[in-house]
């Protein structure tokens, strides 16, 4: 690492490879600057995972300059002026100065190469990302007050917000993301432009929106990011089920604000994440997103009862369907969709345990239905308690403590994670002299249900049980 000169925060340093690349370009007669997030992070005391550079060199000149120095280089986005470079363990991206704009109906920018660093910086999303460190001189270029805005914790745009968001509407999502990740407050002109231009987000691809949403949810303060999305109208486009939670609050205040409750549950779930060696390492998108979405079925299931109460029967099942549909629209992978929707569907399963108690069979079903999401379900269920009634909260916490203890005891005795029927399919076919087919499936399901209900039994008893069932069925 190379330490930066006076004027930068104490201890600020950059990798040796950054200085080396600056010297390579200088020898070739080209300007080179570290730009954007890596420069911003120097002032935040963070190490940026990305190393992005901008230069006056064209893509062909970039590849010529690094020939012999780079271990490899490739056209990561030549049409956009970007060349990828690998040097040792470092992956670098160098982009020609750009000036770009989006057509009013297009998802892709019309790229034009710029002529200067100043022209490149003014087209960037926010002032905190419109700073450059010229190499190898280490001169900071900050024409739009990015350092000042970082200290003030405010998010502004280099050009007008309308111009910036017209160039790339996804920047509105980034504003919400930076509220979550960096704790920045959106400046009024930026907020106003976001509110007025939210509909333009519809032209952005679902994949790009998904990537920003994941970063927002995994930020240090996801509640702040979601609030920005909801209050500016971005959530109406991206995640309409969340602002709809506000509609469950009625003028008589007969039940809690479901929107604020959901944000609190998300916060509490994040607090229960583990270190990297634990079962739910932070930040965990699946747990946090399930917490945010767990009650989205309530607006569609709200009913006012004759006694003045409000009910939301089956909101867990309805919410799981709504969540699946939304995640599919945002092009999430199948495994993430399965995990989140399962948690939403099961988040109410625990309630009533403290009042009624569960049989061992019910505990087995709880574990089996949760499957590989049990550790997340534990945390989601505990996070779903936001009542101010301390006695009620304590009672629910003790009840869940008891449930987890019973799960541990049964798991130790019965290996709950590996619950299978007493006999497998081949044994069933051999004992009953059946060919493969639906009858074998029915027999397997019967044995599994019996195992869940009554616990393990030896093979001899299982064979007798199977024969008795088959006589009654066949």
User: Do the domain assignments include residue 154?
Assistant: no
SS (H, E, C) 406-452: HHHHHHHHHCHHHCCCCCCHHHHHHHHCCCCCHHHHHHHHHHHHHHH
Helix residue spans in 28-79 (DSSP H): 37-44, 59-66
Residue 123 and residue 254 in one domain: no
Same domain, 277 and 372: yes
User: Do residues 336 and 410 share a domain?
Assistant: yes
Asked if the structure places residue 262 within a domain, the reply is: yes
- Point out the domain boundary residue: 122, 149, 176: 149
Res 65: pLDDT? 96
Residue 414 confidence (pLDDT):
60
Is 139 contained in some domain?
yes
Inside any domain, residue 155 = no
| Any domain includes 156 | no
Q: How do 132-135 and 32-35 pair as beta strands?
A: antiparallel
pLDDT of residue 254: 46
Same domain, 332 and 444: no
Which residue is listed with tokens 């929707």? 341
Domain that holds residue 450: 420-473
Same domain, 127 and 167: no
pLDDT digits (tens, 9 = 90+) for 236-254: 999 999 999 987 654 344 4
Which tokens in the block code for residue 22?
């600056």
Residues 258 and 309 in one domain: yes
Q: Indicate whether 468 belongs to any domain.
A: yes
For the whole model, what pTM was predicted? 0.83
> How many Å is the Cα radius of gyration of the chain?
28
pLDDT recorded at residue 252: 41
Number of domains in the chain: 3
pLDDT along the chain (474 residues), means of 10: 83 91 96 95 87 95 95 86 93 87 58 84 95 95 96 96 93 98 97 97 96 98 98 98 80 65 97 95 97 95 79 92 98 97 95 74 87 95 88 86 88 62 82 86 84 78 86 80
CATH of the domain at 366: 1.10.3090.10
| Same domain membership, residue 463 and residue 354 | no
Query: CATH number of the domain that 138 lies in?
Result: 3.30.460.10
In a domain, 453, yes or no: yes
In a domain, 111, yes or no: yes
Look at the block and give the residue holding tokens 């616990």: 455
- Asked if residue 438 and residue 316 are part of one domain, the reply reads no
Does residue 411 contact residue 405 with C-beta atoms inside 8 Å? no
Q: Are residues 459 and 335 in the same domain?
A: no
């Amino acid at each position: 690492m190379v330490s930066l000169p006076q004027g930068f925060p104490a201890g600020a340093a950059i990798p040796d490879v950054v200085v080396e690349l600056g010297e390579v370009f200088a020898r070739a007669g080209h300007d080179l600057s570290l730009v954007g997030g890596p420069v911003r992070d120097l002032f935040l005391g963070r190490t940026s995972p990305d190393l992005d550079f901008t230069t006056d060199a064209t893509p062909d000149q970039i590849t010529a300059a690094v020939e012999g120095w780079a271990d490899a280089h490739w056209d990561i986005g030549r049409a956009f002026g970007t060349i990828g470079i690998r040097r040792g363990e470092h992956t670098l991206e160098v982009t020609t100065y750009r000036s770009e704009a989006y057509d009013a109906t297009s998802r892709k920018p019309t790229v034009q190469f710029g002529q200067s660093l100043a022209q490149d910086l003014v087209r960037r999303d926010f002032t905190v990302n419109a700073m450059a460190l010229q190499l190898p001189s280490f001169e900071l270029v900050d024409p739009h007050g990015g350092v000042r805005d970082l200290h003030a914790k405010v998010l502004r745009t280099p050009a007008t917000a309308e111009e910036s968001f017209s160039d790339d509407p996804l920047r509105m999502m980034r504003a919400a993301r930076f509220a979550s990740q960096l704790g920045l407050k959106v400046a009024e002109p930026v907020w106003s432009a976001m509110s007025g231009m939210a509909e333009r987000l519809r032209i952005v691809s679902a994949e790009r929106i998904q990537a920003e949403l994941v970063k927002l949810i995994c930020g240090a303060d996801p509640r702040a990011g979601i609030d920005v999305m909801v209050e500016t109208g971005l959530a109406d486009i991206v995640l309409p089920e969340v602002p709809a939670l506000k509609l469950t609050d009625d003028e008589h205040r007969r039940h809690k604000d479901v929107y604020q409750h959901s944000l609190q549950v998300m916060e509490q779930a994040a607090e229960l994440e583990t270190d990297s060696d634990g079962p739910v390492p932070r930040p965990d998108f699946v747990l946090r997103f399930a917490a945010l979405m767990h009650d989205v079925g309530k607006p569609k299931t709200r009913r006012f009862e004759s006694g003045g109460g409000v009910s939301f029967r089956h909101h867990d099942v309805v919410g799981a369907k709504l969540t699946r549909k939304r995640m599919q629209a945002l092009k999430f992978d199948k495994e993430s969709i399965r995990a989140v929707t399962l948690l939403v569907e099961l988040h109410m399963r625990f309630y009533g345990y403290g009042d009624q108690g569960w049989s061992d069979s019910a505990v087995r079903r709880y574990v089996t239905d949760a499957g590989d999401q049990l550790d997340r379900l534990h945390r989601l269920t505990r996070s779903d308690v936001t009542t101010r009634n301390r006695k009620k909260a304590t009672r629910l916490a003790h009840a869940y403590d008891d449930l987890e203890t019973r799960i541990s005891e049964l798991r130790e005795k019965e290996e709950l994670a590996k619950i299978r029927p007493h006999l497998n399919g081949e044994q069933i076919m051999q004992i009953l002299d059946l060919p493969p087919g639906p009858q074998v499936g029915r027999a397997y399901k019967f044995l599994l249900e019996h195992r869940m209900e009554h616990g393990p039994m030896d093979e001899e008893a299982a064979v007798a049980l199977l024969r008795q069932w088959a006589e009654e069925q066949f």
